[in-house]
Amino acid sequence: MDIVPRDSFNREIDYLRVSVIDRCNLRCVYCMPLDGLRFLPGPELLTAAEYETVARAAISVGFRKFRVTGGEPLLRRDITEIVERVARLPGAEGLSLTTNALMLPALAGELRRAGLTRVNIHIDSLNPETVERQMRWGSFERIWAGIMAAEDAGLSPLKLNAVVTAGYNESDVVDLARLTIERDWHVRFIELMPLGGGECARLSIARYVSNVETRRRIEAELGLMSEIPSENPSEEARNFKLRGARGVIGFISPVSEPYCGTCNRMRLTADGKFHLCLLNDDELDVRKALRSGAGDPHEEVAKILLKAVALKPTGHHLLEGRSTRERSMFQIGG
Ligand code: SAM
Ligand code: SF4
């Protein structure tokens, strides 16, 4: 039987979310401000070979699942190489990627051939005006073209993520949910989280919508949903189906229904820090070990990762108004 690392709360931690960039080609209102952004200089980003070393080390200590995220991961010119290097490692159980889909028409096929198995696509509304207001810089047509490209490339099951934001898309959730009637997609609604302490964090508090309300809104229009029992104890979404629907509606509710007790995630930032918990600033540097030239980088990374697992905190403090100060969502990856 495989050995999986456990943290001090006896949680099995076997899922690494890898951020590859902090830049983005969108400016979602709750994630990135229009002004005052400073991005990591290129040399500070981990290279494709360094990601491979980290993933190998992670597999050697019992990690199995990997996801690539950002910023917008498809902005990395070497994204196909990163995917290829991680996906082909023996012991990696599939590789998924979170994206806003704008660049998928150009990249979906080659990412699939490189070993990518699934994508989560971020789309907050099917209404072009709402998309323009909420996600800024993008357009519904371009995101939809990316969704179609992912489907044509066989990156399934397709998961769509929408962050529900008062005064923007809170009533558009019904049309998004309706997509699951005809299509075998997962449409997931995410509650806003304030990260980084800036204007996006303030908006995330002011515009928060509970998934209790989102579910009620969907059921009022589309009928009652039945819950699908989860086969995966670390599943962050509670999943439901509309009657007769082919797809699934998921609710990710870190604020109204925290799932810290079953968290199985470790995160790696684009500048090479293990970020121990999304909603906490604690980090351990791994880039120094990768670049120091001292010792075997694989062994050094494995040691740091096990230390990161041991130090992983539990329980967030969003309701007391505490979250990260140092990092915003686009600098961690969600
Ligand atoms: N750019 C890609 C995307 O948007 O999918 C990947 C990175 S993005 C930071 C990852 C996820 O974080 C997206 O699904 C996005 O909706 C979510 N997100 C960003 N800011 C958020 C916030 N303040 N609260 C909740 N989710 C947020
Ligand atoms: Fe970019 Fe994703 Fe953040 Fe939107 S949520 S600004 S697409 S990183």
Q: In the chain, what are the domain boundaries? A: 15-331
Read off the tokens for 314.
Answer: 């539990």
Percent of the chain whose predicted confidence (pLDDT) is above 70: 98
Q: Which ligand is nearest to the CA of 121?
A: 1
Is residue 321 very low, low, confident or very high in pLDDT (cuts 50, 70, 90)? low
> What number is the average pLDDT over the span 66-82?
98
State residue 281's pLDDT score: 86
Give me the mean pLDDT over the 83-112 stretch. Answer: 96
Structure confidence by residue, pLDDT tens digits, 4-32: 899 889 899 999 999 999 999 999 999 99
Mean pLDDT of 197-223: 95
Residues in contact with ligand 1 (CB, 6 Å cut-off): 24, 30-31, 69-70, 72, 98-100, 122, 161, 163, 190, 192-193, 195, 204, 329-330, 333-334
**CATH class of the domain whose range is 15-331:** alpha beta
The residues facing 90 across adjacent strands are none
**Strand 248-252 and strand 238-242: pairing?**
antiparallel
- Mean pLDDT score, 166-186: 97
Of all protein residues, the one whose alpha carbon is nearest to atom 19 of ligand 1 is 31
pLDDT of 101 > 70? The answer is yes
Confirm or reject: Cβ of 24 under 6 Å from ligand 2. Answer: yes
pLDDT at 279: 85
Q: What is the pLDDT of residue 320?
A: 67
Number of H helices and E strands in the chain, helices first, is: 10, 12
Q: Residues 37-55: pLDDT tens digits? A: 999 999 999 999 999 999 9
Helix, strand, coil share of the chain (percent; to 5) = 35, 15, 45
Q: Is 193's pLDDT higher than 90?
A: yes
Q: What is the pLDDT of residue 42?
A: 95
> 100 CA distance to ligand 2 centroid (A)?
7
**276-to-13, 157, 284 alpha-carbon distances in Å:** 11, 28, 8
Please give the model's pTM, rounded to 2 decimal places.
0.95
HEC secondary structure over 173-229: HHHHHHHHHHCCCEEEEECCCCCCCCHHHHHHHHCECCHHHHHHHHHHHHCCEEEEC
Q: Give mean pLDDT, residues 209-233.
A: 96
Atom of ligand 1 nearest to the CA of 24: 1
Q: What is the pLDDT of residue 297?
A: 83
- Strand extents, DSSP E, the chain: 15-19, 65-69, 95-99, 118-122, 159-163, 186-190, 225-228, 238-242, 248-252, 265-268, 273-275, 283-285
Atom of ligand 1 nearest to the CA of 191: 25
Q: Which residues fall within 8 angstroms of residue 187, CB to CB, at 6 or more apart? A: 159, 160, 162, 176, 177, 179, 180, 247, 248, 249, 250
β-bridge partners, 248: 186
Report how far ligand 1's centroid is from the alpha carbon of 100 (Å): 9
pLDDT digits (tens, 9 = 90+) for 243-302: 999 999 999 999 999 888 889 999 999 999 999 998 888 899 999 999 987 778 888 999
In the predicted structure, residue 143 carries a pLDDT above the cut 60: yes
Range name among 94-103, 177-186, 230-239, 312-321 with the lowest pLDDT average: 312-321
By CB atoms closer than 10 A (0-12, 13-18, 19+), residue 53 is buried
In this predicted structure, what is the pLDDT of residue 292?
Answer: 86
Cα–Cα distance measured from residue 51 to residue 257, given in angstroms and rounded to the nearest whole number: 33
- What's the pLDDT at 293? 76
